[in-house]
Structure 1
Amino acid sequence: MSKSDSTCTAGWFKSSRSSETQSCVEVRFNGNSVLIRDSKYTGPGPTQPIVSVSSTLWPGFLDQVLSANSGGLNEGVAISLHQDGGATISGQGVALIYNADEWDAFAKGVADGQFNRS
C-alpha cells in the first residue's frame, strides 16, 4: 500500500493504555477497511508495513483479540499469540510483531471499546 509521508500519520490512533514512549498497535479507519500498523517502524512512509481488514470483518477481528486465542479471518488475516504474551498480526504478505506490553495495551483498548467503528 503506497502512501505519501504526509498521509502516513493522519487519522492513526492507538490505545489510551499505550504510553507516549511505548511502541504500539496503531489503527486507522479508512473507508471500507481498517488499517493496522506498528509504530516501531522507522522506514519511509510509502513502504510502511500495513495489514488491512475489511470493515465488515473488523468486529470479528476485535472479538478474536478479546478471545485471547490465536485465529484467523476469512481474508487471510490472522492473529498468532506468542508464549511470552506478545502477538503477530499477519495478512497480505505482512507480519506485524508486537511484544507483550504492546499487545496488552492494544487488547485493553479493545476491551474498553476504543477501537469500535462507530
Structure 2
Amino acid sequence: MLEKFERIKLGHFPTPIEHLKNISKYLGGPNIFIKRDDCTGLATGGNKTRKLEFLIPDAIKNKAELVVTVGAVQSNHARQTAAACTLMGLKCLIILEQRVKDPPEVYMNSGNVFLDKLYGA
C-alpha cells in the first residue's frame, strides 16, 4: 500500500528489537521486548523518521521551500524535522510551545533546542 507514495530514505531500517532479559525476569515470566527506534540514525534517532520519509518528498514534490512544524520546546519531532529538511535542502521553521511551567534557562537553550539551531531551524 505504501508503494504508491514517494519515499526518501532518511533512516536505517528495520531497527532492532531487543529482548529485555532483566525486566522479563523481574516480572516473572513474560518476555519483554523493545523496538530500538533510537537506532534510526536521523538526528539521534526516533520514530518520527518513518513519517518524515513520506512527508519531506511530498513537500519537495509540491515545490515547498520552507517546512513549518509545531512542537514542545524539547520536541523530538521538531529536531528530526529540522534534520530531514537540512538533508534535503529545505528551510525549516519550528514554532516551539512552552509546556513546562517556569523552566530553567538551560531547558530553553539546550538539548533538542540546541540541535534545532545546529540544523538551521
TM class by shorter chain equals under 0.3
Question: Which structure: greater helix fraction?
Answer: 2
Q: Structure 1 length normalisation: TM-score?
A: 0.26
Question: Which structure: greater strand fraction?
Answer: 1
Q: Structure 2 length normalisation: TM-score?
A: 0.26
